[in-house]
Structure 1
């Protein structure tokens, strides 16, 4: 296999950033397609109760995935800093501890999931008729949590040296395996909800196995040495201090989205269906912005540690331009021909109208998100994870909840509800750039210097 390492410290940046971010965005988009296929399988070949049981776990699963991915960010950033400083001994230490931490946290999550599955589902008012099925799904899903963390941390290790291609390949193969196992367990074995959860766990286990296999076969400093695995507290605090805020940020997003979805639900099935259509396109839009933010984090972590301040500033500018440009390329045709794109999912005029209302407001202004995602990513790459996470939670999550509970209660229309998205983006934009000015601006001045 050709060398997958990317030299982030020298040479032209634009092409490297593009080819690093592209597989990340494509991975998320593929995962979204595979999730839709899973839903289609259980909806088509099981029954309505099974579909509802899987669906009601959606935000809980999103919480788990966000927390896992966020924790992995800590590994990515810390390794990037070690690579930038050329500290090969510390690189090995971070890798060994990261994988042990992934297994340890994963096992705790596995056990916790078995205990709290029912209380959580009762707390979110899961209908009694699907409660047992929903609990069954969540408990089985949590059995795969250690594998999920191993994959996330392993992928973070690969991305820390610029390799986003292999995590993409792993996720692609895993997705096809997941769909195939879903068909087998649901149609052939008749396992319904349990079959969907088992298929997810097995495909995640495949992903974890593949990433570990590749790390063991590495020949450079990021090689995983299984016989040297041990737990030491030296790097755990740094990994958690960077990763946990990022994970909690995504988790709180889920809470805010529950409030928005609850408000949409109050308009009835037509509004729910229309909103769901728009959300399918919004996911793809956001994945582009998120990939640019992740690219900024990874590239800045190495260059900031190496003292390449001017290069860090260039990364910031290129990622800002790239996020807005590529997201606009995707969103513009969706907004212009929104009725046609909505018609792919429904032929009902009322549903299409509801979808178009949301698309016109949310997708048209979507590229604004990149203007705060990228500087937040740069700050994480510099080791400042808590501040951008708090600003994002305040600007987006908290304000959306406040809006639903105040303004929306007075003006109960869909446009009034959907306008909260660009409003909260604007608020977060101001908060993030204000924080960036205070925390990062002076540290990125000049060309050389210590990263301390």
Structure 2
């Protein structure tokens, strides 16, 4: 019965029509990501409305730091997803079993490491980041409690990545929705009734994260399929760990580098004053919804490509890429266009100031409207990672996006004629185009190399039989 239930959630990525299965994979994942954003927004809304501006600043100021500290380990979960997809596609049950158990234990170790770093180093790190003195104590308290929930957060992320490897994106959505509802209810209870301020928001987050992690573990323990987890078999297989790190570490470092480059961009935005900064921040929050909608097809592309590579279905790799690009362009243009068209209404949710709304609309016009370019770039990265290349897309992204933006800000932006907020915003779409084209060149080279490798296999087999 358990095995039949597990199979009903899985997707056969290695045969049949690609597009319907891509959509079946990506849509629940898209909904999960958007729900996560909505629940995160609920944290900020509750603390802002019922605890005050200082508490709002304390919670909001931690967002970039949390992303910076967790991106590396989120990258490792991508490595686990790719490796599990490959073994599942190849039908290698033992490799799949080792990957599942190594990944879950790795998630616990990663989470415990982050918990120690966050609990012991919160105040020091916030001081290095020049957190305002009037919110430093509240921000440090929030960060310490938040990071105590990191083991649960990592378990959920790795568990969900393993479920995605077999095409199951629905159950993680159900678990995330359950945990999110609990988070909102506990936010209101701890902040309004118990008056725990930022500590209440952090405690609610930790509890909801723990619920989502327990649901994923329960699912995997009871699963009768490829992602079955037996707690007594938790251990690290060095070969599997090495494979996860080879793919996951470059992905994680890429996330860190993007976060650091965005800090520099943000400082340039801040130089235009609080009105522009507020409008940019509001627009950025709206952009996040467009980004996660497109990112679902990046993750679908990774899983589909990895499975078909493992199964030896090489002819399906290019059609998977083309259909993923089609989906991401449609979603990016549709959502980006809607966000820009309805920007006056959407931005009013963040501010009533006409100047802030105008500043936010300016960013959406320059960054969100062409956001499909970013999705196209990410899908190319997904294909490269899916066929086994992880360092290459990291280096290309580093040069094409991160370094380009830094050079753009330090050269063209410094010229009086181009010292405008629009010049800052243009660095995004231009860097996306440059990086996308570079990734296309890398992909064509990688596919030619794969083709030569496949053509050489019969010759090697023939020589072996002759000897």
TM-score by length of structure 2 reads 0.92
Matches within 5 A, 1:282-297: 282-297=287-302
Partner of 2:265: 260
Q: Does the 8 Å CA contact 1:307/1:448 hold for their aligned counterparts?
A: no
Task: Say whether residues 1:423 and 2:430 are aligned partners.
Answer: yes
C-alpha separation between the residues in 2 aligned to 1:239 and 1:28?
23
Shift of 1:369: 1.5
CA gap 1:212/1:55 in 2 versus in 1, 3 angstroms: same
Query: Pick from 189, 192, 204: which aligns with 2:194?
Result: 189
C-alpha separation between the residues in 2 aligned to 1:404 and 1:170?
42
C-alpha separation between the residues in 2 aligned to 1:276 and 1:201?
26
Partner of 1:174: 179
Secondary structure of the residue aligned to 1:72 is helix
Partner of 1:301: 306
Q: Give the number of equivalent residue pairs.
A: 451
Matches within 5 A, 1:121-132: 121-132=126-137
C-alpha separation between the residues in 2 aligned to 1:79 and 1:323?
24
Shift of 1:258: 1.4
Query: Pick from 143, 149, 153: which aligns with 1:138?
Result: 143
Shift of 1:260: 1.7
Matches within 5 A, 1:158-237: 158-237=163-242
Query: Pick from 414, 429, 432: which aligns with 2:421?
Result: 414
Q: Deviations over 1:377-401 (max 9, x none)?
A: 0111112112112211222222222
Partner of 2:328: 323
Task: Say whether residues 1:436 and 2:435 are aligned partners.
Answer: no
Matches within 5 A, 1:45-194: 45-194=50-199
Query: Pick from 378, 381, 387: which aligns with 1:376?
Result: 381
Task: Say whether residues 1:359 and 2:364 are aligned partners.
Answer: yes
After the TM superposition, which of the residue ranges 292-301 and 338-347 deviates more from structure 2? 338-347
Structure 2 residues not aligned, in runs of 5+: 458-467
C-alpha separation between the residues in 1 aligned to 2:338 and 2:227?
42
C-alpha separation between the residues in 2 aligned to 1:97 and 1:449?
34
C-alpha separation between the residues in 1 aligned to 2:33 and 2:152?
18
Secondary structure of the residue aligned to 1:163 is coil
Partner of 1:33: 38
Secondary structure of the residue aligned to 1:235 is helix
Query: Pick from 249, 256, 261: which aligns with 1:251?
Result: 256
Q: Does the 8 Å CA contact 2:377/2:439 hold for their aligned counterparts?
A: yes
Query: Pick from 386, 390, 397: which aligns with 1:385?
Result: 390
CA RMSD of aligned residues (A): 2.0
C-alpha separation between the residues in 1 aligned to 2:452 and 2:380?
15
Q: Which has the higher helix share?
A: 2
TM-score by length of structure 1 reads 0.95
Q: Does the 8 Å CA contact 1:310/1:445 hold for their aligned counterparts?
A: no
Task: Say whether residues 1:399 and 2:435 are aligned partners.
Answer: no
Shift of 1:20: 0.4
Q: Does the 8 Å CA contact 2:401/2:432 hold for their aligned counterparts?
A: yes
Q: Does the 8 Å CA contact 2:380/2:436 hold for their aligned counterparts?
A: no
CA gap 1:302/1:50 in 2 versus in 1, 3 angstroms: same
CA gap 1:449/1:101 in 2 versus in 1, 3 angstroms: farther
